[in-house]
């Protein structure tokens, strides 16, 4: 299937700089399709690719990828109808139990995810859940801190893809486990904010099985002529809707079988 690119190379540079500026200054911008109404998801990935090149050229290190919008709850929350992917760099990671600054984000939200660490390269098209499980070294619990750079968290697929799937920070922790020792479809998750339960879910919410989201991610990478290398850290998508956080909030995400991940926001 050929990619549908409507943006010119100049447009791609312009939009990449606009996203980079919004991320660096923590400033909300209008969604990109307000100015480019014909933008496609492939255009969004072209902007995301330009952003990745720019970040890596500036010395940031690619550690893996994230699947986003992989649960019905998230798609309904955000008004979109397909999953997306984004890249993760080492500087986005925050230690477990740490204090995370919010002044360098626009309007952060947190979501519980199962993360996979791979031990073999995965390549699409046609990558399957079983191939993902065979290539997985271990899984561990994670919290993704997303931060759409679009005003009011209002966007569409091309815009959110260009904004690297709202990637901002992530915290991995808990207990690393072999995927074969768990039933990854039925893991229960509870998110607490300031001691109150604010979201609950089961991992099957992510496309029926979180490894399915990793297979989808590998197949989207293949459309862009890329593979998922061994040693990648990959987040499979929010199990529940995302919860807004502000300075003073403490978050604990409790995962059945995988332990908990906590952090506070300042
Ligand atoms: O990780 C996610 O599911 C987020 C993808 C982007 C959508 C959003 O900002 O909520
Ligand atoms: Mg996510």
The two three-digit tokens of residue 150, written as one number: 């679009």
Query: C-alpha distances in angstroms, 176 versus 117, 179, 214, 257, 261?
Result: 10, 9, 17, 10, 12
Please give the pLDDT value at position 187: 96
Tell how far the Cα of 37 is from the centroid of ligand 2, in angstroms: 26
The ipTM estimated for the assembled molecules is: 0.93
Tell how far the Cα of 241 is from the centroid of ligand 2, in angstroms: 9
Question: Which fold does the domain 9-95+104-186+203-239 belong to in CATH?
Answer: Fumarylacetoacetate hydrolase; domain 2 (3.90.850)
Q: Which ligand is nearest to the CA of 243?
A: 1
Work out which ligand 1 atom sits closest to the CA atom of 235: 1
pTM of the model: 0.96
Q: Which ligand is nearest to the CA of 85?
A: 1
Tell how far the Cα of 236 is from the centroid of ligand 2, in angstroms: 7
Residue 10 has pLDDT above 90, yes or no: yes
Nearest to 244 by CA among 173, 177, 168, 160: 168
The 10s digit of each residue's pLDDT in 83-99 is: 899 999 999 999 999 99
The 10s digit of each residue's pLDDT in 229-252 is: 999 999 999 998 899 999 999 999
| Mutation choice for ligand 1 from 165, 199, 243, CB with most ligand atoms inside 8 A | 165
Domain boundaries, the chain: 9-95+104-186+203-239
The 10s digit of each residue's pLDDT in 169-210 is: 999 998 999 999 999 999 999 999 999 999 999 999 999 999
């Amino acid at each position: 299937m050929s990619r549908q690119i409507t943006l010119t190379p100049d447009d791609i540079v312009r939009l990449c700089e606009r996203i980079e500026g919004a991320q660096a200054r923590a400033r909300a911008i209008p969604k990109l399709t307000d100015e480019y109404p014909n933008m496609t998801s492939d255009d969004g990935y072209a902007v995301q690719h330009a952003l990745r090149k720019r970040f890596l050229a500036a010395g940031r290190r690619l550690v893996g990828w994230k699947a986003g919008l992989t649960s019905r709850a998230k798609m309904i929350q955000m008004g979109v109808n397909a999953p997306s992917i984004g890249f993760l760099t080492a500087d986005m990671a925050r230690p477990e139990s740490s204090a995370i600054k919010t002044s360098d984000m626009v309007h952060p939200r947190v979501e519980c995810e199962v993360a996979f660490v791979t031990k073999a390269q995965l390549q699409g098209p046609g990558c399957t859940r079983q191939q993902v499980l065979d290539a997985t070294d271990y899984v561990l619990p994670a919290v993704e801190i997303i931060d759409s750079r679009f005003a009011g968290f209002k966007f569409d697929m091309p815009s959110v893809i260009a904004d690297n799937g709202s990637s901002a920070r992530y915290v991995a922790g808990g207990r690393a486990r072999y995927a074969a020792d768990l039933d990854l479809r039925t893991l229960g998750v509870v998110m607490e904010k300031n001691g109150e339960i604010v979201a609950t879910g089961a991992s099957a919410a992510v496309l029926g099985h979180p490894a399915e989201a990793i297979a989808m991610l590998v197949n989207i990478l293949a459309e862009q002529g890329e593979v998922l290398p061994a040693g990648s850290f990959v987040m499979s998508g929010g199990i529940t809707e995302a919860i807004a956080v502000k300075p003073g909030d403490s978050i604990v995400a409790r995962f059945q079988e995988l332990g908990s991940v906590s952090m506070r926001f300042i």
